[in-house]
Amino acid sequence: NAGVTQTPKFQVLKTGQSMTLQCAQDMNHNSMYWYRQDPGMGLRLIYYSASEGTTDKGEVPNGYNVSRLNKREFSLRLESAAPSQTSVYFCASSRTSGQATSYEQYFGPGTRLTVT
Amino acid sequence: GQQVMQIPQYQHVQEGEDFTTYCNSSTTLSNIQWYKQRPGGHPVFLIQLVKSGEVKKQKRLTFQFGEAKKNSSLHITATQTTDVGTYFCAANAGNNRKLIWGLGTSLAVNP
């Protein structure tokens, strides 16, 4: 099992360019997440998907769009990149809990994005 | 919104010293999860606590969940250089199924 995979590992964009970050998991998880991590800011949720066909905004969704292509894949798109989107992006997945407590999340290796 | 406060933000210890990080909330938590992120790596799940007053151990790591389910701690006995990294707590509160993340405690260990 590869777990959660992300591509690319590194990316440099110019302001205004667009790109899609890819994420896939092979653990048959229903829930998938996109986070960004900035120094001193911890992990901030951008979007999540509780199941195939559904997506919801997280804490910092502005400037991003997502697609839950199928159960395995969850992509994050930056339509017009800005320097403020320079960050490390992590995709994660988990089983979906029917109760108030979440299952543990499994993270991908991350994409280090620089926008100049 | 709901927050989970994690302290300290940074901790620098000599190898062999103990280390503790705390996670505090003003509201009752349904659970607490702990993750470790090595420098340059990704967060890795360590443990989940659900019950009031719960204590769990993993080798030199001891995890506690407070009686009121508003705080938690991670204690490392006799730190080693392999313990270097950032430790995050994350929790659910109320009926919110989204995890609320602490900002993490970065641990540096001098050999």
What proportion of chain A, given as a percentage, has pLDDT over 70?
99
| Contact between residue B89 and residue A94 where contact means Cβ atoms under 8 Å apart | no
Q: Do B31 and A110 touch (CB under 8 A)?
A: no
| B46-101 tens-digit pLDDT | 999 999 999 999 999 999 999 999 999 999 999 999 999 999 999 988 777 789 99
Report pLDDT for B98. Answer: 84
Report pLDDT for A102. Answer: 81
Confidence class for position B1, pLDDT limits 50, 70, 90: low
Report pLDDT for B96. Answer: 72
| Contact between residue A74 and residue A64 where contact means Cβ atoms under 8 Å apart | no
| Contact between residue A81 and residue A89 where contact means Cβ atoms under 8 Å apart | no
How many CB atoms sit inside 10 A of residue B21's CB?
24
Q: Do A41 and B103 touch (CB under 8 A)?
A: yes
B2, B30, B98: best mutation site toward chain A, by most A Cβ within 10 Å?
B98
Report pLDDT for B41. Answer: 96
Which residues of chain A are under the pLDDT cut of 70? 100
| A59-91 tens-digit pLDDT | 999 999 999 989 999 999 999 999 999 999 999
A19-25 and B105-110 strand pairing: unpaired
What separation in angstroms does the CA of B55 have from each of A11, A99, B44, B48, B49?
Answer: 42, 22, 20, 10, 8
CA distance A77 to A112: 14
- Out of B45, B95, B96, the one facing A104 most closely (by C-beta) is B45
| B7-47 tens-digit pLDDT | 999 999 999 999 999 999 999 999 999 999 999 999 999 99
Size of interface A-B (CB pairs under 8 A): 53
Report pLDDT for B2. Answer: 65
CA distance A72 to B25: 34
CB-CB neighbors (< 8 A) of A40 in chain B: 9, 103
CA distance B72 to A61: 29
- Out of A45, A90, A100, the one facing B42 most closely (by C-beta) is A90
- Out of B41, B97, B102, the one facing A42 most closely (by C-beta) is B102
